[in-house]
Amino acid sequence: MTDTLAVEQLSKSFGRHEVLSGIDLTVAEHEVVALIGASGSGKSTLLRCINLLEPISAGRIFLSGEEITRTRNVNAVRRRIGIVFQAYNLFPHMSVLRNVTLAPRDVLGLSKSEADDRATTLLDRFGLADKRTEYPDRLSGGQQQRVAIVRALAMQPELMLFDEVTSALDPELVAEVLEVIRELAAGGMTMIIATHEMSFARDMADRVCFLDAGRILEEGPPEEIFTAPREERTQQFLQRIIEAKRL
């Protein structure tokens, strides 16, 4: 069976600064992969490259076996990959419902009633049914992020990317967003999650990749990475995380 995503020798430089070098990563269907690593290790850039939001310097990316790196139609690729950002990036001039239905209607060509039905079902499922007519400013950070997830899901993507989606949230709002991701995983969604929430990564992920200075230094099942990391850098990183939690 072909993997949902295969990244081969991906490199990305901003000017002379190499942010990603020689990344190899595969994600099977229904698999949940967590990306961990310090800020600036390249997690966000990797996700943006996969979604073709950043042009890559070298390497190839395959989506369900089809190469997307040299595609002529980036829009057709992006509609198959959902991404959720740290800062939600909802459209402030649109109601929650319109935020969710915009792309299904304009990109997939769904009728208003089809798109509204699809959006309403998703909003219901994630406890946002009563927020349909609200504008993003009126929602809490956690609610906004859940709407952003729903907005991406409404495109029925083959792969979801989560870029530190809880980092901008107040601590008491983190759980509601993680709950949504947990439910998606239970439903079999293929996902890559860049996160600082180590316990979440440990619970959720089928596989954990540790990024350091633009390379995947170590990868494996969570119990292995978190309890018996092979690389010294991984050990140091986890040590710092443990210390920070103690403080």
Partner 1 sequence: MASEGDRRAGLEVDRRSRLLDGLRSGGEGRRSVAIALASTIVFFAVVVFAITHAPGWPAVRSQFFSWHEFKSTFPEIARAFRLNIKIFCIAEVFILVFALFLAVLRSLPGPVFFPLRALAIIYADLFRGIPTILVIAMLGFGAPALGLSYVPTSVIFWGIVSLVLIYSAYVSEVYRAGIESIHPSQEAAARSLGLSRAQTLRRVILPQAVRRVIPPLLNDFIGLQKDTALVGTLGAVEAFQQSQIDTNATFNFTAYLCAAALFVAITIPLARFTDWLIARDRRQRQAGGATL
Residues that bind partner 1 (CB under 8 A): 51, 53, 75-76, 78-79, 81-83, 85, 87-93, 102-103, 106-107, 134-135, 137-138, 141, 144, 151-152, 155
Supply the angle between the helices 112-125 and 96-106 in degrees, to the nearest 10.
130
**Phi and psi angles of residue 155, each rounded to the nearest 5 degrees, phi first:** -85, 0
What is the distance between the alpha carbons of residues 152 and 141, in angstroms, rounded to a whole number?
17
Minimum distance of partner 1 from residue 191's CB (angstroms): 15
Minimum distance of partner 1 from residue 28's CB (angstroms): 23
Closer to partner 1 by CB, 38 or 102: give it.
102
Closer to partner 1 by CB, 76 or 228: give it.
76
Minimum distance of partner 1 from residue 245's CB (angstroms): 25
Closer to partner 1 by CB, 107 or 242: give it.
107
**CB atoms < 10 A from the CB of 67, how many?**
12
Closer to partner 1 by CB, 84 or 201: give it.
84
Closer to partner 1 by CB, 79 or 196: give it.
79
Give the position of tokens 């349909």.
132
Minimum distance of partner 1 from residue 104's CB (angstroms): 9
Minimum distance of partner 1 from residue 220's CB (angstroms): 29
Q: At residue 208, what is the residue type?
A: V
163 and 194 Cβ atoms separated by less than 8 Å? yes
**Phi and psi angles of residue 185, each rounded to the nearest 5 degrees, phi first:** -65, -45
